[in-house]
């Protein structure tokens, strides 16, 4: 309990010191493009510095942070062992334009698999927590994933990194079976939406560890399902693989997986 309390305190302090003071207050030169319409702000970098320092004191493990990995891709070699995984400001695109949602994603992994994950919403203070085999929690209360109950099911499908041919095929043969809603451009918001009755299914093409380690673990622990389209589990050390489905229930996951298989 003391360990989790210390992590939660670090998340809140990082948000209060590095992120919220810059929300809707970024100055000229404090936003850059890393390439491919992938922005980074001074808040991302300062938050990662604070988290890296604080996490190293809590558990002396390598820290695989998004910004550190951008500067030196070899940082991701640590994903095969014991490590921290940090997205210091998930939803940077939103944050940079002064819009929600955005948050902090944090996970601990061992042997390529996440075993503990935190999803912190900076604006609301909502904290999602999961530990492998012990369930999923929101602000300390254990939760179970629930579908929306809508017909057709509600889908948030990210096509940002999908190749053009596949994108058009998904629009023609997958999208008509769902009620499509906008993606939040923020995994720290998308995963809670899948468990808390807002969305039923999501598709992700890019599966970088800092974007998905915490959320995939949390949704699986809540009783939803996150896995590769072929059914294999998500591993943080296989971040170069493409494609992943998240769903509020295994049945909803199966439906989308079958439709994607038909595309092939």
- The 3-class secondary structure across 1-54, one letter per residue, is CHHHHHHHHHHHHHHHHHHHHHCCCCCCCCEEECCCCCEEEHHHHHHHHHHHHH
How do residues 6-31 score in pLDDT, each as one tens digit? 999 999 999 999 999 999 999 989 99
Residues 71-107 have pLDDT tens digits of 999 999 999 999 999 999 999 999 999 999 999 999 9
Task: Give the pair of three-digit tokens for residue 44.
Answer: 């991302």
What CATH number has the domain bearing residue 248?
3.40.190.80
User: How many residues belong to the chain?
Assistant: 264
More confident residue, 125 or 168: 125
Residues 6 and 88 in one domain: yes
Task: List, for residues 204-246, the tens digit of each pLDDT value.
Answer: 999 999 999 999 999 999 999 999 999 999 999 998 899 999 9
Residues 34-53: tens digit of each pLDDT: 877 789 999 999 999 999 99
Identify any residues that bridge with 207 across adjacent strands, giving them in sequence order: none
Check whether residue 120 and residue 185 sit in a common domain.
no
Single out the residue in 143, 176, 204 at which a domain terminates.
143
Question: Considering the domain boundaries, does residue 148 fall inside one?
Answer: no
DSSP bridge pairs for 146: 196
93 found inside a domain? yes
pTM confidence score:
0.96
Contact of 50 with 14, CB cutoff 8 Å? yes
Among residues 80, 110, 143, which one ends one of the domains? 143
Same domain, 223 and 171: yes
Residue 264 predicted with pLDDT over 80: no
For the four alpha carbons of 240, 241, 245 and 250, in that order, the dihedral sign comes to negative
| pLDDT digit string, tens, across residues 143-200 | 999 999 999 999 999 888 788 888 888 889 999 999 999 999 999 999 999 999 999 9
From the number of C-beta atoms within 10 Å of its C-beta (0-12, 13-18, 19+), residue 242 rates as: middle
Domain around 207: 154-263
What is the structure's pLDDT at 207?
95
**100 strand-pairing partners:** none
* Contact (CB, 8 A) for 259 and 234: no
């Amino acid at each position: 309990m003391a360990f989790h309390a210390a992590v939660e305190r670090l998340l809140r302090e990082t948000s209060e010191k590095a992120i919220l003071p810059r929300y809707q207050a970024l100055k000229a030169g404090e936003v850059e493009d890393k390439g491919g319409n992938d922005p980074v702000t001074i808040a991302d970098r300062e938050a990662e510095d604070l988290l890296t320092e604080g996490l190293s004191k809590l558990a002396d493990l390598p820290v695989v942070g998004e910004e550190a990995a951008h500067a030196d891709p070899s940082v991701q070699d640590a994903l095969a062992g014991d490590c921290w995984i940090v997205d210091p400001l998930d939803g940077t695109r939103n944050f940079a334009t002064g819009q929600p949602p955005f948050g902090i994603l944090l996970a601990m992994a061992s042997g390529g698999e996440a075993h503990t994950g935190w999803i912190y919403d900076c604006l609301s203070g909502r904290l999602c927590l999961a530990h492998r085999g012990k369930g999923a929690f929101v602000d300390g209360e254990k939760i179970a994933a629930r579908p929306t109950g809508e017909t057709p099911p509600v889908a948030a499908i990210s096509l940002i990194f999908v190749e053009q041919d596949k994108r058009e095929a998904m629009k023609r043969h997958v999208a008509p079976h769902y009620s499509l809603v906008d993606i939040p451009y923020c995994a720290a918001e998308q995963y809670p939406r899948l468990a808390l009755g807002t969305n039923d299914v999501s598709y992700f093409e890019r599966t970088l560890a800092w974007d998905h380690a915490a959320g995939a673990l949390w949704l699986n622990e809540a009783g939803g399902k996150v896995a590769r389209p072929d059914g294999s589990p998500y591993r943080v050390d296989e971040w170069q693989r493409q494609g992943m489905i998240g769903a509020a229930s295994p049945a909803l996951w199966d439906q989308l997986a079958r439709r994607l298989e038909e595309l092939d």
